[in-house]
Amino acid sequence: MDTHQLIVCRCEEVSLAELIETAEAYQCSARELKLRTRAGMGCCGGRTCRVLVDQVIEKVTGQTPSHTVPLGYQPPIRPLSFQLMGGRNK
């Protein structure tokens, strides 16, 4: 398997190749890379891919992510039933 086809962000299905291509084309920051590719914007909030996104930025652009504007972690989403959302208990 080609390593560039590896999925880095499983939530948004962003591949390593997509991250590298975007970082090279735009010479962007970690935050901009996230916004352009949606890596780290899935239901886990970047818990599984943030470190890899930072590593791609550092390798491609030479920038060390400063995180002055944090990518923002979010709690995992849990499914809710329509019954619970509607407030009707049977």
pLDDT tens digits for 48-82?
898 899 999 999 999 887 666 555 555 556 666 77
> What are 3's two structure tokens?
């390593």
Alpha helices in the chain (DSSP H): 16-26, 30-37, 50-61, 82-86
| pLDDT value of position 84 | 72
pLDDT digits (tens, 9 = 90+) for 17-54: 999 999 999 999 888 999 999 998 888 888 889 889 99
Alpha carbon distance 2, 49 (integer Å): 19
Kindly report the pTM of this predicted structure.
0.70
| pLDDT value of position 24 | 95
